Structure 1
Amino acid sequence: MNTIRTVLGDVPPRELGVCNAHDHLFLSSPQLPGQELREASAARAELAAFRTQGGGTVVQWTPYGMGRRAADLPLLARDSGVHVVAATGLHQAAHYGAELLRRLRGGLAELFVSELTQGIGTSGVRAGLIKVAGGFHSLDAHARWTMAAAAEAHHATGAPIAVHLELGTGALDVLDLLCGELGVAPQSVILGHLNRSPDLAVHRQAAEAGARLAFDGPSRANHATDWRMPDAVRALAEAGFGDRLLLGGDTTTAAARSVDGGPGMPYLLRRVRPRLELALGKELVEHILTENPQSAFAADWR
């Protein structure tokens, strides 16, 4: 039976409620100095604010080695009443030291499988998805290595694979590798950040291939996220791909948290949802926030 693997255990998909399909409660990277998401109290406040807006589930895409704080997630989920899904996986090489990457050579797939089936470190918290990343309009050797490991772990466990697309690019290259060469079923692949490159033709091709399409994160100054995203989502829905769409918040810095004056997790439901309802109607937006994540993050775990 397909279930969602949360930090409190496997649950039936129908229990998710309204789902933020891509966000971060904890995150640390040398690429974001001074903006780490480390405080449990701030994470608790974000979950509470999301819950107040009607949220039911947050999928944390923070992968291995980036400050996931897996041991803290069960208590936060219990306290907030929000389901939390944790990730294994590996981000771009720039987020890690060379020595750590050397240690992972030869055993990356085994690490992913262990975190999906046994637990992250000594926390006992099992990951519910694998997160990897491409580059800007390209897949370098690091991306190919991590995606090959993700595919191996997917075949061993059934876990979905979520992909950070750098500035929204490279979606078709990712699908060629994961689904074409490595045999991953396209419905098990979630392409993130498509809003950052509003190329409707690429979106359509990715949807036709069978992948899940995530539009996640409010605009930065150089992104077309907010004002082009409704058009992109509507185009996909009108083409018959409304069941492939996901929405997320992608809070990656302390300054972006609502408790620190940023949009944070509530923004998805407070501002993005009503904006999309104007373009798509309430019924479809509700479907995207509830039913689509139920199928995207469910697996017949092995």
Structure 2
Amino acid sequence: MSSVRTVLGDIRPADLGVCDAHDHLFLRSPRLPGQELNDASAARAELEAFRAAGGSAVVQWTPYGMGRRAADLPLLSRAAGVHVVCATGLHQAAHYAPESLDGLRGRLAEVFVSELTEGIGTSGVRAGLVKVAGGFHHLDAHARRTMTAAAEAHHATGAPIAVHLELGTGALDVLDLLCGELGVPSDRVILGHLNRSPDLVVQRQAAASGCWLAFDGPSRANHATDWRMPQAVLALAEAGFGDRLLLGGDTVVAGARSVDGGPGMPYLLRRVRPRLVAELGAERVERILTGNPARAFAVDWR
């Protein structure tokens, strides 16, 4: 039987509810000095604000070695009344000190599988997806290595693979590698940041493969998101791909949280949802926020 693996245990997909399909409660990176998401009180307040806006679930894409604070997630989930799904996986090499990757050589898949099935460190929290990342219009050796390990972890567990597309590019290269060479079923692949490269042709080609398309980070006006995303989502829905779409907030720095003066997680429901309803209708948007993530993150765990 399929289930979604949350930080509090496996739940029925139908119980996931309104879902922010890509966001972060905790995150740190040498590329974002001084902007870390590392405040548990702020994370709880953000979850509570999302809940107050009508949200029920948040999928945290923060992978291995980037400050996930997995041990804190169950308490936050219970306190806020929001389902939380966390990730294993690995981001681009630039997000790590080089020496921190040395010990992972040759055992990435083993680490991913362990975090999906046994738990992250001593926290006992099991990951519910694998997060990896491509580069700008290409896949370097690090990306190919991590995606190969992610594919091995998928084949061992059934877990979905969520992919950071750098500025929304490289979608077809990712699918060629994961689904073509490595044999991952396309419906187990979630492509993130499609809104950052509003190429409707590539988006339609990617959707036609059967993968999931995540439109996330909607409050980043410099990424041509807010004003183009509704039309892109509408075009895909009218082309018959409404059942392949996901929505997320992708809050990556402290100043972007709603409780710190930014748009944060509630923006997805407070501002983006009404705008999409005006374009697509309430029924379609409800499916994108509830039915689609329930299927995207549901796994027949092995």
Deviation at 1:55, TM superposition (A): 0.3
Deviation at 1:178, TM superposition (A): 0.1
Deviation at 1:98, TM superposition (A): 1.1
**What SS does structure 2 have at the residue aligned with 1:136?**
coil
- Residue 156 of structure 2 is matched in structure 1 by 156
Kindly provide the CA deviation profile for residues 141-193 of structure 1, in whole angstroms up to 9, marking residues without a partner as x.
00000000000000000000000000000000000000000000000000000
- Residue 72 of structure 2 is matched in structure 1 by 72
* Match status 1:239 vs 2:242: no
CA–CA distance in structure 2, aligned partners of residues 167 and 137 of structure 1? 9
8 Å Cα contact 2:63/2:88 also seen in 1: yes
Deviation at 1:278, TM superposition (A): 0.8
**What SS does structure 2 have at the residue aligned with 1:75?**
helix
- Residue 251 of structure 1 is matched in structure 2 by 251
**What SS does structure 1 have at the residue aligned with 2:270?**
helix
- Residue 224 of structure 1 is matched in structure 2 by 224
Letter paired with 2:90? L
**TM-score for the superposition, normalised by structure 2:** 0.99
CA–CA distance in structure 1, aligned partners of residues 202 and 102 of structure 2? 35
Q: What is the Cα-based RMSD across aligned positions, in Å?
A: 0.6
Q: Within 5 Å, which residues of 2 pair with 1:97-116? A: 97-116=97-116
Letter paired with 2:88? T
Letter paired with 2:130? I
CA–CA distance in structure 2, aligned partners of residues 41 and 271 of structure 1? 24
- Residue 133 of structure 1 is matched in structure 2 by 133
Long gaps (5+) in structure 1: none
**What SS does structure 2 have at the residue aligned with 1:163?**
strand
CA–CA distance in structure 1, aligned partners of residues 147 and 134 of structure 2? 9
- Residue 194 of structure 1 is matched in structure 2 by 194
CA–CA distance in structure 2, aligned partners of residues 258 and 90 of structure 1? 27
- Residue 5 of structure 1 is matched in structure 2 by 5
**TM-score for the superposition, normalised by structure 1:** 0.99
CA–CA distance in structure 2, aligned partners of residues 118 and 221 of structure 1? 40
CA–CA distance in structure 1, aligned partners of residues 223 and 159 of structure 2? 30
Kindly provide the CA deviation profile for residues 26-75 of structure 1, in whole angstroms up to 9, marking residues without a partner as x.
00000000000001000000000000011000000000000000000000
Percent of residue pairs bearing the same amino acid type: 81
8 Å Cα contact 2:219/2:263 also seen in 1: no
Letter paired with 1:98? P
Q: Within 5 Å, which residues of 2 pair with 1:1-302? A: 1-302=1-302
CA–CA distance in structure 2, aligned partners of residues 219 and 135 of structure 1? 22
Letter paired with 2:102? R
CA–CA distance in structure 2, aligned partners of residues 275 and 141 of structure 1? 40
Runs ≥4 residues deviating over 3 A: none
CA–CA distance in structure 2, aligned partners of residues 203 and 230 of structure 1? 14
CA–CA distance in structure 2, aligned partners of residues 220 and 251 of structure 1? 10
Kindly provide the CA deviation profile for residues 223-263 of structure 1, in whole angstroms up to 9, marking residues without a partner as x.
11111101110011001010000000000000000011000
**What SS does structure 1 have at the residue aligned with 2:27?**
coil
Deviation at 1:221, TM superposition (A): 4.4
CA–CA distance in structure 2, aligned partners of residues 14 and 108 of structure 1? 32
CA–CA distance in structure 2, aligned partners of residues 144 and 174 of structure 1? 9
8 Å Cα contact 2:219/2:267 also seen in 1: no
Letter paired with 2:104? L
CA–CA distance in structure 1, aligned partners of residues 230 and 221 of structure 2? 17
Deviation at 1:99, TM superposition (A): 1.1
Aligned residues: 302
